[in-house]
Amino acid sequence: MVRLGQLRSIASLTLQLAILVVLIAAFFVRTPQVSGPSMEPHIMSGEYVLINTLAYRFATPERNDIVAFRHDGEVPEIFIKRVIGLPGDRITIDDGTVAVNGTPLREPYVRYPDGRSFPEVTVPPDSVYVLGDNRANSEDSRFFGPVPDRDLMGRALFGIWPANAIGAL
């Protein structure tokens, strides 16, 4: 039989854990809503994604990470894109084919290609080169250049809403 004192102890511990989870989520996780088709079909416009804001405080971005960052365009907003180039990488895009340091990338996640060519770019230190998966409809590093590490908010981990979008990215 459970005693009243034990119940209070369990309830107190449960409350403390709940508060801890809320505080961690409030300070180390963000859940922006995706606006626009640039990451389709993997992340659809209107979906909410879970962003780990600690990811790049202790590590550096890796190629193929999906990242959230602040973009100060005409209207400052949060963008979500895929990392293609790392510091020092030479990025070329010829007739829609992306090459890193002369090696064409295999990009199975691109379903809507863009057949245009863009000038070669060398990614500067402390920056990444990002592209949307929907190349035909994405504002990304092809247009605004590499993204400084200081603008990275974190790594996108999971789709969290709507229910059919729940899962790892």
Residues paired with 114 in a beta bridge: none
Would you state the pLDDT for residue 71? 81
pLDDT at residue 119, rounded to an integer: 95
Annotated catalytic residue: which of 81, 127, 138, 141? 81
Please indicate whether residue 18 or residue 63 has the higher confidence score (pLDDT).
Answer: 63
Terminal Cα distance for the chain, rounded: 46
Percent of the chain with pLDDT over 70: 71
Write a three-state SS string for 86-107: CCCCEEEEECCEEEECCEECCC
- pLDDT value of residue 118: 96
Separation of alpha carbons 55 and 133, rounded Å? 21
Specify whether 127 is catalytic.
no
State the Cα–Cα distance between residues 43 and 134, nearest whole angstrom. 10
| Annotated catalytic residue within 9, 12, 35, 38 | 38
- Do 165 and 47 meet the contact criterion of CB atoms below 8 Å apart? yes
Length of the chain: 169
Contact 119, 130 (CB under 8 A): no
Residue 117: predicted pLDDT = 96
Can you give the pLDDT at residue 78? 82
Helix (H, G, I), strand (E, B) or coil at 41: coil
Task: Considering only residues 112 and 128, tell me which one the structure prediction assigns the higher pLDDT.
Answer: 128
What lies within 8 Å, CB to CB, of 12 at 6+ separation is none
pLDDT at 35 over 60: yes
Q: How far is the C-alpha of 152 from the C-alpha of 41, rounded, in Å?
A: 23
Residue boundaries of the structural domains of the chain: 1-28, 31-168
Instruction: Encode pLDDT of 76-122 as tens digits.
Output: 578 899 999 999 999 999 999 999 999 999 999 998 889 999 999 99
pLDDT over 80 at 73, yes or no: no
117 counts as catalytic: no
Domain 31-168 has CATH 3.50.50.60: no
Task: Say if CB 169 and CB 68 are below 8 A apart.
Answer: no
- The Cα–Cα gap between 38 and 19 comes to 36
Q: Is 19's pLDDT higher than 80? A: no
